[in-house]
Amino acid sequence: MKRERYYLDLFSGIGGFALGAYWAGLRFDKHYFSEIEPYAIELYQKRFPEAEALGDIKNVCYSKLPRGEYLVTGGFPCQPHSISGKRQAENDKRDLWAECKRMLCELQPGMALFENVGGLFTSPGKERKGEYFNRLLSDIHESGYAAEWQVISAADVGAPHKRERVWIIAYPNSKRLPRGQNNTGRIESWSKVKQQLQGFLPPDFGLDISKLQTYRDNNGIPSRVDRFECLGNAVIPQCPEIVFSLPAFDLFREHDPNP
The catalytic residue positions are: 78
Q: Is 187 exposed, middle or buried (CB count within 10 Å of its CB: 0-12, 13-18, 19+)? A: buried
Picking from 5, 27, 7, the residue whose alpha carbon sits closest to that of residue 257 is 27
* SS3 assignment, position 94: coil
Do residues 170 and 97 lie in contact, with contact meaning Cβ atoms separated by under 8 Å? no
**Backbone angle region of 104, left / alpha / beta, with phi > 0 → left and psi within -120 to 50 → alpha:** alpha
Alpha carbon separation from 122 to 133, 166, 182 (Å, rounded): 7, 12, 28
β-strand partners of 253? 26
- Using only the alpha carbons of the chain, give its radius of gyration: 19
